[in-house]
Amino acid sequence: MGNCMARAFPLARAMARYALKVEYDGRPFAGWQRQADQPSVQGAIEAALARLEADVPSIAAAGRTDAGVHATGQVAHCDMVQEWQPFRLSEALNYHLKPLPVAIVACSSVSEDWHARFSAVERRYTYRLINRRAPLTLDVGQAWAVKQPLDLGYMQEAARHLIGKHDFTTFRASICQAKSPIKTLDEIRIEAFPRGDAVEFQFHLRARSFLHNQVRSIVGTLERVGAGSWSPDDVRISLEARDRAACGPVAPPDGLILTGVGYPDDPFRGQGS
């Protein structure tokens, strides 16, 4: 009886899970998430996976970046019936992703309970702003161009009001689906790099997770401080208002880059940056 039941209901074959570190230029895409009628990064990778195996399950990512947002360290995972050497899987995917501006820069075998989103304990973003009068050429679509001079010290002073655990309703998009506006922002670090006739400002933000448009809302508000339209203390007042209307302008997606995702045990350790 037991043998008959085993033959009638064979066990499903276990699938092998792989973590993928993904780099992409977000300009040609409507965002990470697969969409029926618009190109997406998820859709591009799933189409490449389908060239390797039929009926590959949907992949999951650490974060859903918006249209025009870039990544150098997005992380996703996929499940495959065939066992692959991670290097060969990344090479095969990169072959089928051409000519799209998406690349698998690292690949690792992980346990079946490892999850790109739910196993993550940290996300890191960098926002690039280039301060110069002339329009951007080489960096167009890769940074926010701001003409008026910005004061680094004022922006750094203002940013300190946002570090720590707060209700970030002010810096949350109206369509944000997060259950709570309370987040802990572990770091905001702002650097300035002279570049000939320009200055590049880089805003580095680190947290376990972010609200929808939180980083771009913060950068857009800090830019107002740097330009002298807001005082550093106005950012504290804006935060405490817990009102979206109290936020400064939202920075464009061009300069936003998902640079890394942290895990208790890094699946890509030893595979470079």
| Whole-angstrom distance, CA of residue 206 vs CA of residue 127 | 12
Answer whether 268's CB lies under 8 Å from 106's CB: yes
Instruction: Kindly name the residue from 25, 66, 151, 234 that is annotated as catalytic.
Output: 66
Roughly how many angstroms between the first and final C-alpha of the chain, as a whole number?
A: 55
Q: What type of residue is 159?
A: A
CA angle 87/92/95 to nearest 5° reads 125
Gap between the Cα atoms of 272 and 180, Å rounded: 36
| Cα distance between residue 113 and residue 246, in whole Å | 42
Instruction: Judge whether 139 counts as a catalytic residue.
Output: no
Catalytic residue ranges? 66
